[in-house]
Amino acid sequence: MHMKLIGPFKQIIPMTNLSLKGAIMDNQLEIIQDGGVLIEGNKIQAIDKFANMLAHEKSNATEVQQLSGDHICLPGFIDAHTHICFGGSRANDYAMRNSGKTYLEISKAGGGIWDTVTQTRKATRPELIKGIVKRAKRHLTNGVTTIEVKSGYGLSLEEELKMLYAIQEANTLIALDLIPTCLAAHMFPKDYKGSPAEYLEEIASKLFPRLIKEKLALRVDAFIEEGAFTPELIEPYFNKASELGFDITVHADQFSTGGSKVAVQHNAISADHLEASTDTEIALLAQSNVIAMALPGASIGLGCDFTPARKILDAGGALAIASDHNPGSAPMGYLLTQAAILGTFQKLSNAEVLAGITFRAAAALKLKDRGQLNEGFLADLNIFHTNDYKEVLYNQGNFKPCMVWKNGELVYNKHKH
């Protein structure tokens, strides 16, 4: 198999030997000085001093990519919560919200999630695919090599399938990986003829089997909130999802509490949002195996409090950080910028922020082959033109990778674009 050696790097930050839960100090980060990364196929074969590896590999017909100037290497970033499959725009919502209109007033004026549902239903599958590909490529230039993508703007059997087919097809057209999640329980569709319970029952009985049969999604999500679904309504829905072997994740505690408790009760992989979580919910999450997912993009987009990330980590919780990239509440979509800003407001160490968008985000998607630079892991590399990894978060997303490798291939080179 073809071998490649990349280096030398002033610093390689492999994000290895760190705990999944709790606080991390910067001095716990392993830093490999003057290192190289040896790649075989799509995986990392070894990481060591570049000079040693170069001497050894010269005899093995290894392709050497020798870097000139100062570079550091981090794992490819993982955005574990996005809604990048959608039609239309909600620029009008944003303007109204910043002019002082409430969520309810915007909804009554034809805005809100239902506006995106209407526009997504109008969009053809090729139009949705085009939008996903465009947004995913932009994520890639910012170092994101794996993106979770939710359905949830279809809200009917056929329209949810249209979205999931679009996500599946878009995944074949781009270098990075898309991880699909079924969010048919995003809100109760206004045009549904039955009750919310009947809608959930129909999705569970008719859509869930299709997802398995056609390998469209292995993950099921629901929005638990006033104005969406109550914990009581979602109970049989999540029970059915668990019985069928789906992984569960929850939109929890965004405006009011209740969702995180459901996440813990159903052994969800993650509870996402948590802006409204109090000490009670924080303790509950920290004592469980549920990963707490902060979505700073939604806080920036809505102008509301950030997820209590510092408290979650200090209580011993696992914290991942995702962009929540969506047309309504989180239109920015820049994971690195948002993670850096969350860090300044919540006083998170560099190590905690980087963990949140690498190996802890991988755990939130149950992906054991990425999020670290380690032997046997996917060769997903973020290369920055600097001699100090601290520059990455210091520049708050303004400093972008000069090269991104995905599955052992150079998929983005700033100098060639």
Give per-residue pLDDT as tens, 366-380. 999 999 999 999 999
Q: Are residues 209 and 315 in the same domain?
A: yes
Task: Name the band, by pLDDT with cuts 50, 70 and 90, for residue 417.
Answer: low
Q: Are residues 261 and 343 in the same domain?
A: yes
Contact 404, 383 (CB under 8 A): yes
Q: Are residues 237 and 281 in the same domain?
A: yes
Q: Are residues 202 and 299 in the same domain?
A: yes
Q: What's the number of domains the chain is made of?
A: 2
151-169 pLDDT, tens per residue?
Answer: 999 999 999 999 999 999 9
Contact 170, 129 (CB under 8 A): yes
313-324 pLDDT, tens per residue?
Answer: 999 999 999 999
196-215 pLDDT, tens per residue?
Answer: 999 999 999 999 999 999 99
User: Measured between alpha carbons, how far is 398 from 372 in angstroms, rounded to an integer?
Assistant: 23
CA angle centred on 408, ends 404 and 411, rounded to 5°: 35
Task: Name the band, by pLDDT with cuts 50, 70 and 90, for residue 68.
Answer: very high
Q: Report which of residues 102 and 251 the model is more confident about.
A: 251
Residue 184 lies in domain: 78-364
Q: Are residues 346 and 312 in the same domain?
A: yes
Domain boundary among the residues 364, 383, 408 is at 364
Residue 95 makes CB contacts below 8 A (sequence gap 6+) with: none
pLDDT of res. 320: 99
Neighbours of 373 (CB within 10 A): 27
Q: Are residues 252 and 385 in the same domain?
A: no
pLDDT of res. 303: 94
Distances (CA, A) of 12 to 73, 107, 204, 243, 388: 5, 48, 45, 42, 10
Q: Report which of residues 255 and 103 the model is more confident about.
A: 255
Q: Are residues 289 and 355 in the same domain?
A: yes
Q: Are residues 325 and 388 in the same domain?
A: no
CATH number at residue 153: 3.20.20.140
Q: Are residues 68 and 186 in the same domain?
A: no
Burial environment of residue 90 by CB neighbours within 10 A (0 to 12, 13 to 18, 19 or more): buried
Q: Are residues 331 and 380 in the same domain?
A: no
Domain boundary among the residues 364, 380, 406 is at 364
Domain boundary among the residues 337, 364, 391 is at 364
CATH number at residue 23: 2.30.40.10
Task: Name the band, by pLDDT with cuts 50, 70 and 90, for residue 57.
Answer: confident
Q: Are residues 70 and 181 in the same domain?
A: no
Per the prediction, the chain carries an average pLDDT of: 96
Q: Are residues 181 and 283 in the same domain?
A: yes
